[in-house]
Amino acid sequence: DTEVTQTPKHLVMGMTNKKSLKCEQHMGHRAMYWYKQKAKKPPELMFVYSYEKLSINESVPSRFSPECPNSSLLNLHLHALQPEDSALYLCASSPISRTDYGYTFGSGTRLTVV
Amino acid sequence: GQQVMQIPQYQHVQEGEDFTTYCNSSTTLSNIQWYKQRPGGHPVFLIQLVKSGEVKKQKRLTFQFGEAKKNSSLHITATQTTDVGTYFCAGPRQGGKLIFGQGTELSVKP
């Protein structure tokens, strides 16, 4: 299995809602990432998990809360989001948390905040 | 801050024409990666370059890493409609972060 699976593919949520994005990989990768991508822009790094521990938080607002329950799963919990948080949220993984490995990206969750 | 600059932002070509996108860094890179993102899709890893002056080929795609390891290019020979998408270079930054260039959006007219 050489895929990263993200659910849901699309999500519409109100500013008072709480929702979660899920990401799963079964490649034995020990590093997992969350990126945010706005239209016509490059992916922007949000969080890095290495061996299930948070190693990088790119000064992301606390309304985004990541969680790594085990080496295969990565969640992003969303609460009290703003319309400007609407974007494509991409999960990625790599063998370890080093930038000399190519990242495998999931197909993303397209989030709309209303 | 540390950035990876990529040009051009857009490129429109006729099918069969060649295409090149360039990536530049103000600092030396230990490696550089290239990704392709189809419209409505997600980034897909294409290749990584590590050595100074390295050239790698994948069918009609040729990737180069500069001698000073500060720039890189992706050249596509005889573009096809299947080449449509946005091509990103990505370089490592301090702290183990992979940072993407702005991307070059390629459109191919049949």
The radius of gyration of chain A's CA atoms, rounded to the nearest angstrom, is 13
Question: pLDDT grade, residue B109 (50/70/90)?
Answer: very high
B67 burial (CB, 10 Å; 0-12 / 13-18 / 19+) is exposed
* Distance (Å, whole) CA A23 – CA A3: 10
Per-residue pLDDT band for B95 (boundaries 50, 70, 90) equals confident
Asked if the C-beta of B105 comes within 8 angstroms of chain A's C-beta atoms, the answer is: yes
Q: What is the mean pLDDT of residues A29-49?
A: 96
**Amino acid letter for position A60:** V
What is the mean pLDDT of the segment spanning A8-17?
95
DSSP of chain B: ---EEEE-SEEEEETT--EEEEEEESS--S-EEEEEE-TTS-EEEEEEE-STT-EEEETTEEEEE-TTSSEEEEEESS--GGG-EEEEEEEEETTTEEEE---EEEEEE-
pLDDT at A84: 97
Q: Do A99 and B50 touch (CB under 8 A)?
A: no
Residue A40 in contact with partner chain B when CB distance is under 8 A: yes
Residue B40's contacts (CB-CB under 8 Å, 6 or more residues apart) are: none
The predicted structure's pLDDT at residue A98: 80
Q: Does A65 touch chain B (CB under 8 A)?
A: no
Point out the residue among A56, A92, A108 whose CB comes nearest to the CB of B95. A56
* B105–A55 CB contact, under 8 Å: no
Mutate which of A99, A100, A105, A109 to test chain B, going by most B C-beta atoms within 10 A? A99
Q: How many Cβ pairs closer than 8 A exist between chain A and B? A: 60
Q: Is residue A48's pLDDT more than 70?
A: yes
Q: Which of B42, B93, B95 sits opposite A105 (nearest CB)?
A: B42
Per-residue model confidence (pLDDT) at position B30: 93
pLDDT in tens, A57-108: 999 999 999 999 999 999 999 999 999 999 999 999 999 888 888 999 999 9
A41 in reach of chain B (CB within 8 A) = yes
CB B3 within 8 A of CB B99: yes
With 80 as the cut, is the pLDDT of residue A44 above it? yes
Give percent above pLDDT 90 in chain B.
90
**Do B92 and A99 make contact, defined as CB atoms within 8 angstroms?**
yes
Residues 6+ apart with CB under 8 A from A81: A13, A15, A17, A63, A111, A113
Average pLDDT, chain A: 95
Helix, strand, coil % (nearest 5) of chain A?
Answer: 5, 55, 40
**Token digits for B62?**
């040729």
Q: Which of A40, A42, A90 sits opposite B88 (nearest CB)?
A: A42
Measured CA to CA, the distance from residue B33 to residue B26 in angstroms comes to 16
Structure tokens given for A110: 């397209």
How would residue B2 be classed by pLDDT, with cut points 50, 70 and 90? low
B36-83 pLDDT, tens digit each? 999 999 999 999 999 999 999 999 999 999 999 999 999 999 999 999
Phi/psi of residue B82, each to 5°? Answer: -75, -10
- Tokens (6 digits) for A14: 């109100």
Sheet containing B19-25: order of strands: B4-7, B19-25, B71-76, B61-65, B55-58
- The alpha carbon of residue B15 is apart from the nearest alpha carbon of chain A, in Å, by 23
